[in-house]
Structure 1
Amino acid sequence: MQTLLPRPRFPNFLITSCRKVSVFYASYKPDYSNQSRGVLPRFYSDTLPPSKGEVVRVMGDEFHHMTKVLRLSVHDRVELFNGRGGLVQGCIDKIDRTGLDFMALEEPNIVPPKSTNWHVFSAFGTLKGGRADWLVEKCTELGASSVTPLLTERSPAISGNRVDRLQRVIFAAAKQCQRLHEMTLNPPTKISSLLPAISQSKLSFLAVAEATPLISTLSFKRNEASGLIIIGPEGDFSDKEVKMMTEAGATTVGLGPHRLRVETATMAILATLMLWSDSHESMAVGEP
């Protein structure tokens, strides 16, 4: 004989809370101008519809991701972005074997890039076990404008196949973090080729062991929204390399008492500078 269990009774306060949450979601209208708060699946397309009601074709990996991985179908709403600030909301209009047609349901938006532009030069060419992938992925998420593999005496090369892989990592990270302006992956460069950029930049921070802490250095610096971040390989820069860059205008900075991995040092200095720039930018906006 089957025993019927009594129907659970929830406290009144829990029922009231659930109702409030339901009302909130029913009335919530997301701000699509904020690229970090998109609620629709977002996909890349080099070409966007020029206006509302126009259609573009989506094929290749993005088509596969939309239909095979997420199993989206006709009339499902999605967003397309082009990696250059363009964003448009629309729906899947048609699906066939080779691709799908995306129809814009609104006029395309062009979101200008942020004024914060930090360019990372990091000697990660010899990193193994996915550590270079992690470094590039996190630089994308934190908002670096570009990343350049830096070739040094102790990190002299990076394979072409790895560069191709890193470009795919950047693309995937940009989609995941809702970034509308894709981060640039520059070709590997030698320190000698970096020196002119250091000379022309208002701020160039060179991570060196036992240098003045970065926070202490920033307290004496006029805020800038752009600059260069330079991190050496495991084993650090040679004395000759440090001398070349400091003579070109780079400021040496320390990142604490411990020896950091290349990817850890890169994240520490990039995150600090992004927060530093953003805090000053927010204060400037709030000034009368």
Structure 2
Amino acid sequence: MQGLVTIRLRFADLLTRQWLKPSSLRAIASSSPSASDYTDQSRGGLPRFFSEQLPTSKGGVVRVQGDEFWHMTKVLRLNMKDRVELFNGKGSLVQGCIQKIDRAGLDFVALEDPVLVLPQSTEWHVFAAFGTLKGGRADWLVEKCTELGAHSVTPLLTERSPSISENRVDRLQRVILAATKQCQRLHEMTLNPPTQVHGLLPLVAHSQLSFLASAGATPLCNVLTSSKKGPSGVIIVGPEGDFTEKEVNMIAEAGVKAVGLGPHRLRVETATIALLSTLMLWSNSQQLSNP
């Protein structure tokens, strides 16, 4: 018991140290960032919101309305002179503050010139048959693909997953935007129109790498160990019930490499995220070792 009291006292002592005081933390957070800071898209910082239009230079003003205006003023209770960031989903970001608020929207004034961050050289395009998934599972799949850094996601239409509703596509676009802001990503992931299996084959032909999640195939890690190609390509995950034999043959003939993800049967969303996360980690390690 005495030892527990001692631990609590030591922890309380840590909280009183100067380097942990809130004023010190605010000073660190408010320091002016350089352009290179924006390349680390996982960093924290000012609240970030989406706007198709950005000020072209310091002192420029843009109008913010709709959902973002509601989120800024009603959810986060931001007020005039509060500092925020705006991004356009295409790599541009600008810091500024709220200049004016009225019932219809607010005016954002730039406190610096916009910064343009180039997209990552790694591009993984996800084709997954998630059109028939229920209970928010498709939302989860798209959200995590956004967070992990997929370049695009395409709903794959197959004989066992033949359609996806228009309402779901609209909802998924909103999920992508929310996830983009949450994970501090500057380039919005593309949600492509649904495509049939034969529609993805031309992209496979022009990709450096292409993988199909398949039970019993050579483990993905073994395949990557021997790969000498660049870390970009196509990821294909079939529907619940898997592809038909005809579809599998069509994909294999296009040159797609079947890879295994372990001994268990995985759901569509689990297989997609397992495959993508492994490839993103591998891609990052490749870039670090070959700058």
Where do residues 96-245 of structure 1 align in structure 2 (5 Å cutoff)?
96-245=102-251
| Mapped contact 2:86–2:95 kept (Cα < 8 A) | yes
Residue 215 of structure 1 aligns to which amino acid in structure 2?
C
Which whole-Å CA distance do the structure 1 matches of 2:251 and 2:32 have between them?
A: 46
2:31 paired with 1:25: no
| Mapped contact 2:209–2:231 kept (Cα < 8 A) | no
Which whole-Å CA distance do the structure 2 matches of 1:244 and 1:261 have between them?
A: 22
2:59 paired with 1:53: yes
2:73 paired with 1:67: yes
| Mapped contact 1:30–1:39 kept (Cα < 8 A) | no
Residue 102 of structure 1 aligns to which amino acid in structure 2?
F
User: For structure 2, which runs of at least 5 residues remain unmatched after alignment?
Assistant: 1-7
Alignment match, 2:286? 280
Q: Aligned with 2:290: secondary structure?
A: helix
Q: Aligned with 1:91: secondary structure?
A: strand
| Mapped contact 2:197–2:247 kept (Cα < 8 A) | yes
Which whole-Å CA distance do the structure 2 matches of 1:211 and 1:190 have between them?
A: 23
Residue 166 of structure 1 aligns to which amino acid in structure 2?
L
Which whole-Å CA distance do the structure 1 matches of 2:160 and 2:179 have between them?
A: 29
Alignment match, 1:260? 266
| Mapped contact 2:124–2:234 kept (Cα < 8 A) | yes
Larger radius of gyration: 1
Backbone CA RMSD of aligned residues: 1.8
* Superposition deviation, residue 25 in structure 1: 2.1
Relative to the length of structure 2, the TM-score reads 0.91
Residue 166 of structure 2 aligns to which amino acid in structure 1?
G
Alignment match, 2:91? 85
Alignment match, 2:46? 40
Cα–Cα, structure 1 residues 205 and 16, in superposed 2: closer, same or farther, change >3 Å? closer
Q: Aligned with 1:97: secondary structure?
A: coil
| Mapped contact 1:151–1:188 kept (Cα < 8 A) | yes
User: For structure 1, which runs of at least 5 residues remain unmatched after alignment?
Assistant: 1-8
| Mapped contact 1:90–1:102 kept (Cα < 8 A) | yes
Deviations 1:23-55 (A, max 9, x none): 752552475413221311100110000100111
| Mapped contact 2:209–2:229 kept (Cα < 8 A) | no
Q: Aligned with 1:40: secondary structure?
A: coil
Is the deviation greater in 20-29 or in 95-104? 20-29
Which whole-Å CA distance do the structure 2 matches of 1:55 and 1:216 have between them?
A: 53
Alignment match, 1:6? none
How many residue pairs match? The answer is 277
| Mapped contact 2:208–2:229 kept (Cα < 8 A) | no
* Superposition deviation, residue 113 in structure 1: 0.5
Relative to the length of structure 1, the TM-score reads 0.92
| Mapped contact 1:223–1:280 kept (Cα < 8 A) | no
Deviations 1:197-231 (A, max 9, x none): 11221211011111111011111111422100000
* Superposition deviation, residue 193 in structure 1: 1.0
Which whole-Å CA distance do the structure 1 matches of 2:156 and 2:251 have between them?
A: 13
Q: Aligned with 1:98: secondary structure?
A: coil
Deviations 1:35-78 (A, max 9, x none): 22131110011000010011100011111111111111100000
State the percentage of identical aligned residues: 66
Residue 154 of structure 2 aligns to which amino acid in structure 1?
T
Which whole-Å CA distance do the structure 2 matches of 1:30 and 1:276 have between them?
A: 33
Residue 20 of structure 2 aligns to which amino acid in structure 1?
V
Report runs of 4+ in structure 1 exceeding 6 Å deviation: none
